[in-house]
């Protein structure tokens, strides 16, 4: 008896299930949708060199007059800085590539140094708010240095200047440098500061891979 009851219950349950699937049942129903609007942020930066850009350029060749016909040990104005033009707080990074040549140079007392691969320009004092993150001297033609700004840069705010001048090395004449144009390439990078770790962590995880992509996010000669 008990056994049959159990079987009957199983069959009945199965039938009920089939009826529920195959039948049409009317209910009072309602539905509501929630539409979540999310405003996506933006990191946008502007690399400028205020004093370099403001320097006279009488012949209109985009090279400031004080950067033309440069002589050994001459100091030249060059002052990169970065402004956050986006809507999110950002970490800022700048890479600078200086040309180098295998040349003879002279000491301040006039004595001649042995021929050596020499960086043609040396920057002035690096700003206190900047940290050197990496240096690469493996390339045959340039030395590249990457600096990170120690502070989070808010929208509309700017970094301090990375440096304010560069100085041409004390190259001895007659080595083919005369009447050449040498480029100092400056690149700026920005990344959101939220959810990316510290400035150094963000550089390691996200920025380092962008340094040698082409075209770069922003170049200045």
Q: Which residue has the tokens 């001649």?
A: 112
Domains in the chain, please, with CATH? 45-220 (2.60.40)
Confidence check: pLDDT of 16 > 70: no
When pLDDT is averaged across residues 87-100 and rounded to a whole number, the result is: 93
With 0-12 / 13-18 / 19 or more C-beta atoms within 10 angstroms meaning exposed / middle / buried, residue 182 is: middle
Averaged pLDDT of the chain: 80
- Of 72, 75, 76, residue with least CA distance to 64: 76
Confidence check: pLDDT of 25 > 60: no
Q: Residue 37's pLDDT band (boundaries 50, 70, 90)?
A: low
Confidence check: pLDDT of 8 > 90: no
Confidence check: pLDDT of 15 > 60: no
Q: What percent of the chain has pLDDT over 90?
A: 56
pLDDT in tens, 136-164: 999 999 999 999 999 999 999 999 999 99
Give the three-state DSSP class for 16.
helix
- Of 133, 166, 136, 157, residue with least CA distance to 67: 166
Confidence check: pLDDT of 6 > 70: no
Q: Tokens representing 104?
A: 């003879």
pLDDT in tens, 42-77: 788 999 999 988 888 888 888 888 888 899 999 999
Rounded-to-integer distance, Cα 140 and Cα 206, Å: 26
Confidence check: pLDDT of 176 > 80: yes
């Amino acid at each position: 008896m008990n056994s049959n009851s159990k079987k009957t219950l199983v069959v009945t349950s199965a039938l009920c299930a089939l009826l529920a699937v195959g039948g049409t049942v009317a209910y009072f129903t309602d539905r509501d949708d929630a539409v979540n609007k999310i405003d996506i942020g933006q990191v946008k930066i502007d690399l400028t060199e205020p004093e370099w850009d403001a320097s006279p350029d009488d012949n209109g060749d985009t090279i400031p007059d004080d950067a033309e016909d440069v002589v050994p040990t001459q100091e030249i104005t060059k002052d990169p800085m970065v402004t956050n033009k986006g809507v999110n707080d950002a970490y800022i990074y700048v890479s600078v590539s200086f040309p180098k040549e295998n040349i003879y140079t002279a000491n301040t007392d006039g004595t001649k140094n042995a021929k050596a691969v020499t960086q043609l320009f040396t920057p002035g004092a690096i700003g206190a708010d900047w940290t050197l993150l990496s240096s690469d001297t493996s390339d045959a033609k340039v030395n590249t240095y990457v600096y990170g700004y120690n502070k989070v840069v808010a929208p509309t705010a700017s970094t301090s200047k990375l440096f304010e001048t560069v100085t041409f090395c004390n190259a001895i004449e007659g080595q083919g440098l005369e009447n050449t144009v040498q480029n100092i390439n400056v690149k700026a990078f920005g990344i959101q500061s939220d959810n990316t770790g510290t400035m150094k962590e963000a550089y390691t995880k996200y920025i380092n891979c962008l340094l040698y992509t082409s075209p770069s996010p922003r170049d200045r000669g």
